[in-house]
Each structure stands twice: as C-alpha cells, then as structure tokens.
Amino acid sequence: MRDTSEIYFTIVLATIFFLVLVAVVVTAVWRYYYRKRAHEKTLMEFDHTLLQSRLEIQEQTFKTISQELHDNLGQMLTLAKLNLNTLNLADSDKSKEKINGAIDLLTQTIQSIRDVSRNLHADIISKIGLVQALESEIRIIEKLGILHPVFLVEGQPVPLETDKSLIIFRIVQEALQNVVKHAQATMLEMRINFAPDEIKLSIADNGKGFDWAQSKDKGSGLRNMNDRARVIGAQFEMQPAATNGTVITLTIPNT
C-alpha cells in the first residue's frame, strides 16, 4: 500500500513538474514571438516614417526650387537682360557700368543655379551631413526676407545614421515651415548642441505662438513631428518661450 502511494505521489509530482515545464516553455515561446512581432512592427513603422519623410522632403525641395526660379533666378536674368538691352555704345562709361551690372547679376544667377542643383540631389543629407543640411535650410529662410534666422552649433558634431538624420531634418523642416507660415515672428534661433550622451536641437521664435488646438492642420503637424521623434527614440517638446513666441526642443539620445 505504501509503495502504491509513493508511486501515485511520484506520478502526480512528475505530472505537476511536466505541466509547469510546459507552461514555462509555452510562456517563453509566446514572449519570443511577441517581442519578435513588436520588433517587426517597430521596423515597419520606422521604414514607413523614413519613406514618408523622404517624399515630403522631395516635395518641399521642389516647392523651394519653384519659388527660387520664379522669385530669384527669373528676376535676376530679367534685370541682366534689361541692362544689356539698354546699352548705349556711344556712352562708354554708362555702357561699362551696365555690362558690369549684368555680369554681377549673371554671377549671382550661376551661384543660385548651383544651390538649386545641390538641393535637387536626392541624397543631399548623406553627402553633406545633418548640420550643413540644417544650415542650408536656414539660408533658404533668410532669402525669404520674412524674418532674421540664426543658426548655432555647440559642441563637437558627431556623425549620425543617414536614415535618422533624414527624419530629424524632416522634423526641423516642418517646424521651420510652421514658424514662417503661422508664428508672425521677426527672429528665429535654431541651436544644435552635441553632448556626450545626447544631441539637443531647439528652435525658438519671438512670434505670437501656436494655437494647435484650433487648427486641424497644425495639430496634425504637431502629431507628425511627435510621432517621427518617437520612431527614432527622441523626445519632442513644444513650450511657450520665456517672453513670447515658442520653443521647440528635440532631444536625441546617443546610442
């Protein structure tokens, strides 16, 4: 009888051990597939955000080029043509002045065409890096003449992955567009600080501030910037400035 009880006890104990082992294995397998699916979802989200950022940067580039051709290049070529058309060869001094003026205009036009050609390059960020790409964006805003932009770089720039740089650039591009279109600002300061553990990028203006709640488009823009920041593991914040205007801060950990 005692032997039988011991056998039953052993069987029950073995069964419990087996069930616990099965539960542990099933849980481990489930956790593995759950993490795998979560990782795949994160990669898909990153790829989607990257593709969307590329398309939006290209669209914005074409808009900028179109505006440059219409407002700048066309005007300079027209002025150069007028200078040459009104030449009076009998008056050598005035003719020389007009020719020199036309040469200056054509020189500026050539430089503008080079800038346009550089912006057309699909891999501009991978070629010149994030800092120079941001500086180029500031120069574009400066040419508009709407406000006075300042770009500051602090610390030693560190190389970033091209895909991450592209998404950061698109966040900045959208933030700058919002300042130009909606803030009614006269001053803008973009500052990028390279620290050992993080990169902090801030955009401050002295405008009226943004009322995102009252604008569907603006709210969508804010969500887009926030979502893009989350995809690359960055933190996005938008706060009122100390006096007036708005400060946008993007904090990217160095990983």
Amino acid 145: pLDDT: 80
Contact 140, 96 (CB under 8 A): no
Amino acid 150: pLDDT: 94
List domains and CATH numbers for the chain: 129-255 (3.30.565.10)
- pTM, whole model, 2 decimals? 0.59
Amino acid 59: pLDDT: 62
What's the N-to-C CA distance of the chain in angstroms? Answer: 66
Q: Which residues of 237-247 are buried (b: 16+ CB within 10 A; e: fewer)?
A: ebeeeeeebbb
Amino acid 110: pLDDT: 72
SS3 label, residue 200: strand
DSSP H helices, the chain, are 2-68, 74-85, 92-120, 124-144, 162-178, 216-231
Contact residues for 225 (Cβ-Cβ < 8 A; gap 6+): 171, 174, 175, 236, 248
Query: Among residues 215, 218, 214, 217, which one has the least CA distance to residue 238?
Result: 218
Amino acid 245: pLDDT: 87
User: What are the mean pLDDT values of the chain's consecutive 10-residue runs (255 residues total)?
Assistant: 66 77 80 74 67 64 62 67 69 73 75 63 70 87 85 91 86 88 88 94 87 52 85 89 85 87
Q: What is the DSSP letter of 241?
A: -
Contact 182, 193 (CB under 8 A): no
Query: Among residues 164, 142, 140, 138, which one has the least CA distance to residue 153?
Result: 138
Backbone angles phi, psi at 195, to 5 degrees: -110, 165
Query: Among residues 126, 121, 125, which one has the least CA distance to residue 134?
Result: 125
Q: Measured between alpha carbons, how far is 237 from 171 in angstroms, rounded to an integer?
A: 12
pLDDT, tens digit (0-9, with 9 covering 90-100), for 88-134: 666 677 777 777 777 777 777 777 666 665 555 546 677 788 898 89
Amino acid 21: pLDDT: 79
Backbone angles phi, psi at 101, to 5 degrees: -65, -40
Amino acid 116: pLDDT: 62
Q: Measured between alpha carbons, how far is 160 from 141 in angstroms, rounded to an integer?
A: 24
Q: Measured between alpha carbons, how far is 202 from 194 in angstroms, rounded to an integer?
A: 12
Q: Measured between alpha carbons, how far is 201 from 193 in angstroms, rounded to an integer?
A: 6
